[in-house]
Structure 1
Amino acid sequence: MDVLDAVTASVVFRLSVALGVGALIGLERERSGSAGFFAGSRTFPLVALLGGLLNGFFPELLPVGFAALAVIVGVAYAGKVAFEDDIGSTTAVAALLVFVYGAMATGSENGTVLAVVLGIFTTSVLAAKPWMHSFAEGIDDRELTDILKFLLVAPAVFLLVPNRELDALYGLNPRFVWLMVVLVSGISLGAYLLRKYLGAERGIALSGVLGGMASSTATSVSLSGRARREESLMGLYAFAISLASMAMFPRVLIEVAVVSPSILIDVAVPVGAMTVVGTVLAFVVLRGRDKEAIQIQASNPFRIRTAVVFGVIFAVVLVVSREGARAFGESGVYATAFVSGLADADAIAISLSRLAESGEIPVGTATLGVVIGVVSNTLVKFGIAAVVGGRELGKKVGFVLVTTSAVGIAVAVVV
């Protein structure tokens, strides 16, 4: 009896999910005034329920049900075109998708989760109609060409380069390096679009934070290259690069918390101090910018040259990091932390946290090692800004990052 109750509860839950997804999309269609002849806040949940019931209890009739719905949708669409002179097919397609989502919801646990995710995504796309139309109208031929170039070149090279370590490249994996190149290009394009449609001040700052959460090094390279080409926006780019570096610190704390909760507080004190000081100094740099600079038009967002430069820098640092770790050995915690941090602060943070959790190294040693790795990685951003972005950008970014690094080391040593 308990098993039967559990099965019944599972079926009811999945059908409820199907209804919920249908209702969500139906409400959006009703609110937007796009419900048309047949599909609104009542019809969409029923369509989702139909798909869920057929797949859950009569799976052999699922194709028949979908075909019948397609006919009904086709007739309704034809009537809409004939009587309203409106050829928009979004609601018709959404109705067919809702049927599929309903069927997915009763198909399996993964299907239920995916139905919810896709339902939310579909609703978001439908609700974003005004913004998407404005976005499409604002893109000129040159910008469209740049975006298509990015979408074509990135996957093409990714498929062509080998996915293995090559002795000729000192053990580097070309596909992994190219992934970093693609990331730089994507950040550059994303920063451009954010700036274009949110305004320079909000767009560049947001791209710094979001890019820093993914890869602060890649973001620094991308934004430094743009800063050299748009000198009047130097202060704004310095602010964004500084924020990208600050975004790395919370990520490191999350990794430490997962691997070794016992040393989290020890690490959080110096890293937290770095976050606060760095953020404050970044806003100091922002206050000194030329406010009229935000009126300047943006340039070509796709810069393959800047991306390739990053690929070379990243590859060299990766090789130096690996060879340095081998030379110093595991006993040279601090030296290894500094060298490893040049390429990646996450790896050294996780490694030292694990060693401290297992008792192989003291907590204090692990804490200072993590901070050294973070500081090393932070100083790399300063170097990137100075080399790629120029002397003036280097001064502004260095003011933030060098001061932040000194605070981190000082606090870690004292604690």
Structure 2
Amino acid sequence: MVDPTTEPLLVLVSRIAVAFGIGALIGLERERSESGGTFAGSRTFPLFAIFGALVQAFFPDLLPVALIALALPLTVAYGGKIMTEGDLGLTTLTAALLTVVLGALATHSHRGMVLSIIAGGVVTALLSAKGTIHGFVDRIDESERRASVKFVLVVLVVLPLLPDRELAVLFGLNPRFVWLMVVFVTGLSFVAYVLSRTVGAERGIALTGVLGGFVSSTATTVSMAERSTDAPSLYRICAFSTVIASIVMFPRAAVEIAVVNPALLPHVAVPLGAMTVTGTLVAGLVYWRSTPESAIETDVENPFRLRPALFFGVVFAGVLLVSESAHSWVGASGVYVTAFLSGLADVDAISITLSRLAAEGAISQQVATTGIVIGAIANTLVKAGLAWLLGTRRLALLVTAILGVVSVVGLGFALVQF
């Protein structure tokens, strides 16, 4: 850590200014809040931040003492607020103490300053979203809440206990990496699930496809197919939602690849990007020729459920073992067959697996890229099959035609670029 007192005066002043800005941002939000404005607002919070910044800059060893010294009068003031207003909320008191810490972070180091800016923005957004968050919680039933709590507890308990090394008893698998990928993929789905719940029943058809695709493209396809059966005249708008939900898995796969193997992303981005753009343009044309309905719903479940997460972990571990073995025994063709079969069930598993193998040098970037595209194509074929099985003939023909074009484009770009 660099001693702030030895840095140029301008640098120290700029960091204190950052602390002031963070405090002002949080203070303005608390001033606007009915519950927080009378306790501390737009003047008090910047003072909290400057207090933390100055203590950290010149008396860093006394920061814990300073926090305790500030907590005492804050607690007294909070008690007075409870007596006069009857408000038992701890949000503003907690935000005040956190503002002091963020101010101290700003003068701790350059990394601390950057972190304090990010954290300050997150804190402000979280405080501002009180109504949205409470509304979201109210829309979740008790069974979903219990499922979420169980999943989070298992993650917190299991992940630290898993060994972070390859185990012979698991055929060379790293159990912590496998479980970490389970948590990562489920987290992506949960973000989209939260957004879909937040937007609610009034969301438009485009958002239905996008959010439904991130949570479960299969569920979205089934829902749209059944919808087209109930109302055949809506086959175009249902096809649009189905295609959008299907192609959302391409940028989702790109995010997963960027996390696991950033070096592979430039190669995979070309075919996946071409597939996404092609599918969006053709689906957009279908949407333009249709009559949108404002509240087509998809039945998506909370992805924070233990059984689906464990199932994905088993699938991912199996795909990882089979892909590596198939490449050793048969070469690239073995990887492609595995990618196709795996893609019929799930794109996430094969995308992460091949990215991992490419990062370790077990397979080439060309094989990984082509395999990921083949897995994505296999999954689009499943969506077309569901449209034929559960939807109307018009829906099935339109979905098959669009996804067929998307698949040809993606495979073509994957083969041409190497």
- Range into which the TM-score falls when normalised by the shorter chain: 0.7 to 0.9
Q: Compare 389-398 and 269-278 and name the one that shifted more.
A: 389-398
TM-superposition CA deviations, 1:105-156 (whole Å, max 9, x none): 2222332222222211111111111112222333332232222222223344
Which of residues 239, 247, 252 in structure 1 aligns to 2:251? 247
Once the two structures are superposed, the pairs formed by residues 333-344 of structure 1 within 5 Å of their partners are: 335=333, 338=336, 344=350
Aligned counterparts of 1:239 and 1:231: Cα–Cα separation in 2: 12
1:26 is the counterpart of 2:30: no
SS at match of 1:321: helix
1:25 CA drift (Å): 0.7
| Residues 117-126 or 370-379, more deviating | 370-379
Q: What's the counterpart of residue 371 of structure 2?
A: 373
Measured against aligned partners, the alpha-carbon deviations of 1:254-301 in whole angstroms (never above 9, x if no partner) come to: 89xx7599xx7x987655433322223455787889959835766675
Query: 2-side partners of 1:145 and 1:164: how far apart?
Result: 32
Q: Distance in 1 between matches of 2:257 and 2:166?
A: 31
Q: Structure 2 vs 1, CA of residues 390 and 306 (structure 1 numbering), >3 Å: closer, same or farther?
A: farther
From the superposition, tell whether residues 180 and 353 of structure 1 become closer, same or farther in structure 2 (CA, over 3 Å): closer
Q: Is contact 2:247-2:276 (8 Å) kept?
A: no
Counterpart of 1:86 in structure 2 is 87
Gap change, CA 1:25 and 1:321, over 3 Å in 2: same
SS in structure 2 of the partner of residue 172 of structure 1: coil
311-320 or 380-389, which deviates more: 380-389
CA distance in structure 1 between the partners assigned to 2:353 and 2:91 by the alignment: 46
Structure 1 residue aligned with 2:344: none
Q: Where does the alignment leave 5 or more consecutive residues of structure 2 unmatched?
A: 229-237, 341-348
Could you tell me how far apart the structure 2 residues matched to 1:171 and 1:391 are?
Answer: 40
* Percent of aligned pairs with the same amino acid: 39
| SS of residue in 2 equivalent to 1:199 | helix
Please report how far the alpha carbon of residue 44 of structure 1 lies from its aligned counterpart in structure 2 after TM superposition.
Answer: 1.2
Aligned to 1:358: none
CA shift digits 1:18-76 (9 cap, x unpaired): 11111111111123344444522112111211111122113344344323322321232
Residue type matched to 1:124 in 2?
A
For residues 171-208 of structure 1, give each alpha carbon's deviation from its aligned partner in whole angstroms, at most 9, with x where no partner exists: 33334333444445445555544333313646643435
User: How large is the RMSD of aligned CA atoms in angstroms?
Assistant: 4.5
Question: For structure 1, which segment, 68-77 or 157-166, has the greater mean C-alpha deviation from structure 2 after superposition?
Answer: 157-166
> Does 1:404 pair with 2:398?
no
Contact 2:155 2:183 in 1 (8 A): yes
> Which residue does 2:326 correspond to in 1?
324
- SS of 2:328's equivalent in the other structure is helix
Corresponding residue SS for 1:125 = helix
The 3-state SS of whatever aligns with 1:24 is helix
Task: Report the 3-state secondary structure (helix = DSSP H, G, I; strand = E; otherwise coil) of the residue aligned with 2:248.
Answer: helix
**One of 226, 230, 236 as aligned partner of 1:232:** 226
Any conservation in 1 of the 2:27–2:44 contact (CA below 8 Å)?
Answer: yes
Question: In 2 relative to 1, CA 56–301 (structure 1 residues): closer, same or farther, beyond 3 Å?
Answer: closer
**Helix, strand or coil at the partner of 2:8:** helix
Letter in 2 for 1:106: T
Cα distance in 1 for residues equivalent to 2:175 and 2:297: 40
2:235 paired residue number: none
**Aligned residue identity for 2:218:** S
Shift of 1:407: 2.0
Tell me if structure 1 keeps the 8 A contact 2:136–2:197. Answer: no
> What displacement does 1:323 show?
1.8
Which residue pairs with 1:215 in the alignment?
A: none
Aligned to 1:47: 48
TM-score normalised by structure 1 residue count: 0.72
- The residue number in structure 1 matching 2:136 is 135
* 1:205–1:243 CA contact under 8 A, matched in 2: no
Cα drift, residue 233 of structure 1: 5.8
| 1:339-350 correspondence to structure 2 within 5 Å | 344-345=350-351
Q: 1:104 corresponds to which residue?
A: 105
Q: Distance in 2 between matches of 1:167 and 1:306?
A: 26
What is the distance in 1 between the residues matched to 2:207 and 2:281? 20
Whole-Å Cα distance in 1 between the matches of residues 191 and 282 of structure 2?
Answer: 25
- C-alpha separation in 2, matches of 1:63 and 1:316: 49
TM-score normalized with structure 2 length: 0.72
Match of 1:315 in 2: 317
Q: 1:321 to 1:402 in 2, by over 3 A?
A: farther
1:12 aligns with 2:29: no
Q: 1:246 to 1:6 in 2, by over 3 A?
A: same
- Separation in 2 of the partners of 1:305 and 1:386? 27
* Equivalent AA in structure 1 for residue 70 of structure 2: L
The answer to whether the 8 Å contact 1:18/1:48 transfers is yes
Compute the displacement of 1:384 (Å): 5.9
Give the alignment of 1:43-82 within 5 angstroms: 43-82=44-83
Whether contact under 8 Å (2:24, 2:42) holds in the other structure is yes
Count of residue correspondences:
385
> Is this contact kept in 2: 1:227–1:389, CA < 8 A?
yes
The aligned residue for residue 199 of structure 2 is 198
